[in-house]
Structure 1
């Protein structure tokens, strides 16, 4: 019987083999076995089929680089999309959210402030036995399924400061929580105690979402970005003159709102593959792997690849490419409270924005601070920092409060231009998450995930959100150098989420861990505590990781 070689097989059979290979590199190796397999009839057809199978899109002309062939663009897109995973955990300033193995949305965290029930968790009713008083607030300590989404299989989830966005497998978007500034997308500012589908997005197949302080982003399968909520800092990318201006008593700044989802028109011709909302800014990753930033504060200071100096120039109303990252093959972005993290295809992490609590991982924090004020003003500010162990809780880097007073301030820990976190050298990073809490006066912390499943943390540690035990007082202070969360060693983590003053991690076996402020997670090491510096497992919770 004659032996047939690989190249003797029909082209459609070869394509089916290539589609089932685990990685694009394996397809390339297969193509290198024979000159005939370099032809578009095989290689390009195989990559197009792999793209379609994973739900991707063939690159637009604008998504291809100069002199890049279609095959090269398809291969690059697959490598990039490895990092665009669906979120099964998310952490807000008051709550934690999970997607169970069955696709059910589950939440825990703050149910009421003192005796004032809040809409944050999405539950219409809760059993008193599941609630505990922590720090004077009523907290749901065990994740419970959200009844309003009992018949909806959730694909991915996102949280803002006190609201939640859930994207279903069918591509519908549901929201609930605090409705301030229209961040829920329902055409008003009303709170939503139970999940409600965003009607104006019917007919749009959503694939991802992200929440900021009071604004939200939704990404469609076609690569369009819909934004809504607060727009007074330019964080939603719309002409300020086209936004709704509410009438309020004692209004400190002119608010500008977009109450329903609206496409960011200035991105026409650009296909976006990932979105990330910070507190007052937004980051968008394009198909061509360019990072667009918009909004206000230190996280979006205009930067130049030629130097490290820049000046804050006010709100950035339309998305602009971060020139310093133009030659970096970016695969993931994350926005925190006044700062940003970026992950490259080479598994390197870059950080920029406010770094006063060590959240940029650059080895510096507020302990050495430089300000451009009068001598009297400088003395008063530094005294406040020393007393509170934090630097400028209301700086331009992350808020409207005190903007006119502090808009020219900048600490030595801040980075106006994306800077490589050199202390992570040797670590192959596969995940990043930037957090930050308004509850604690404006603090931030960061989490980084390695390809070996280890979690690194840096930034503020006031509630143990870095996962470091409180052996002495110095452990509560910020740290600007990444350290492994030792308690999780040996547990292969596949997803991380940095919240307000809390952190979450999901493992390859579907387990979930939480640490930090107990009002957010419901977890604590002993009764009477309001925090846990040790990652604790959520009992009876199985996530859709496996």
Structure 2
């Protein structure tokens, strides 16, 4: 009969084989874009640093305009502070916009090259992308995360890593396989297949969920969804979103949050100035979620001071600050209640 040492060796060998097999499996998650649903890239707003992807001559669009992304089939698009990241059905990435701190992940030394989409080189096949103010990230089908650009805090640049700004994609050293990534303005959050969260970036207002307040600021707002206005420096359950609502998606703006329930209802809370909550001119602040009067929706998004909802019928409703024409309404007026986005490019789409 095999001894105790032989049994341990056999178990260790089995575990190693299982780990190798596990690593070869492609990761899946409900948040990943459907690679079989290809689309066009449409942009609107201001493009003073090329973030519209329409070339050197076009600085603004008040209605959605088509971007030529090298004839590729696009499955996902995310907007950073002043740059845009596109993911193709082949897992390739194209970027355009401001590259002052490496957010595009590619060489833009040729004049004007940042104003049009171009490919980013990295190892692997991308299945999800995210973008913050000055950084971008991609998740590969193997569960690896690559990022580039820079993080900042109230005192200035802090670097993407200890080496400073990373102008080209680098692999984020993680022991676990990642299934989802999400970017804030200056931090990155990674969810592992085991349900663990990994964070990096600015920790000033508790964004990382693991750095004590006394260590979070190099130099020396309001919490929303709770009844008080204290920052949180570790995760805390939000009763107003958990007790009587089944949430399937959450999107955070600068000072507000948009939530989507499994029933297709859209709720907002936080600061209400510029109409970003969608409840009219008189709504200044909501400490708990309130449901908007919208058709059944299947997706939501939030920018700094804007909100968007995508209905099951394929229409986009926008509300919030319109100063930069980012609502696609045709002018610069704020929209304090949801309004359907129109224009030639959306007429039959």
Normalization by structure 2: what TM-score? 0.81
Whole-angstrom distance in 1 between the partners of 2:43 and 2:79: 11
Which of 182, 187, 210 aligns to 1:281? It is: 187
Partner SS, residue 235 of structure 2: strand
Contact map agreement 2:201 2:208 (CA 8 A) in 1:
no
> What's 1:462 paired with?
273
Which of 326, 330, 342 aligns to 1:521? It is: 326
Contact map agreement 2:160 2:166 (CA 8 A) in 1:
no
Whole-angstrom distance in 1 between the partners of 2:103 and 2:44: 21
Change (3 A) 1:478 1:520: farther
1:263 equivalent to 2:184? Answer no
> What's 1:492 paired with?
296
Encode CA deviations 1:221-244: one digit per residue, 9 max, x unaligned.
Answer: 111111111146698763x1xx2x
Partner SS, residue 108 of structure 1: strand
> What's 1:106 paired with?
42
> What's 2:251 paired with?
433
Change (3 A) 1:302 1:532: closer
Between structure 1 and structure 2, the one with the greater Rg is: 1
Supply the RMSD in Å over aligned alpha carbons.
3.3
Whole-angstrom distance in 2 between the partners of 1:139 and 1:161: 16
Whole-angstrom distance in 1 between the partners of 2:61 and 2:266: 26
Contact map agreement 1:228 1:236 (CA 8 A) in 2:
no
> What's 2:63 paired with?
142
Change (3 A) 1:511 1:468: same
1:313 equivalent to 2:215? Answer yes
Partner SS, residue 294 of structure 1: strand
> What's 1:167 paired with?
87
Contact map agreement 1:63 1:288 (CA 8 A) in 2:
no
Change (3 A) 1:139 1:504: same
Whole-angstrom distance in 2 between the partners of 1:62 and 1:232: 39
Contact map agreement 1:108 1:144 (CA 8 A) in 2:
yes
Gap runs ≥5 in structure 1: 1-58, 65-73, 89-100, 112-116, 128-137, 244-255, 305-309, 317-354, 366-412, 437-443
Encode CA deviations 1:118-170: one digit per residue, 9 max, x unaligned.
Answer: 3111102778xxxxxxxxxx7412111102x1611101111111110000001
Encode CA deviations 1:296-324: one digit per residue, 9 max, x unaligned.
Answer: 222345649xxxxx4341479xxxxxxxx
Change (3 A) 1:185 1:363: same
Whole-angstrom distance in 2 between the partners of 1:205 and 1:301: 27
Higher helix share: 1
> What's 1:451 paired with?
262
1:361 equivalent to 2:225? Answer yes
Whole-angstrom distance in 1 between the partners of 2:34 and 2:288: 26
Whole-angstrom distance in 1 between the partners of 2:325 and 2:193: 35
Shift of 1:216: 1.0
> What's 1:307 paired with?
none
Gap runs ≥5 in structure 2: 1-17
> What's 1:291 paired with?
197
Whole-angstrom distance in 2 between the partners of 1:315 and 1:259: 25
1:478 equivalent to 2:285? Answer yes
> What's 2:4 paired with?
none
- Number of aligned residue pairs: give it: 319
1:197 equivalent to 2:110? Answer no
Contact map agreement 1:295 1:315 (CA 8 A) in 2:
no
Higher strand share: 2
Contact map agreement 1:119 1:178 (CA 8 A) in 2:
yes
1:509 equivalent to 2:305? Answer no
1:158 equivalent to 2:78? Answer yes
Whole-angstrom distance in 1 between the partners of 2:100 and 2:34: 24
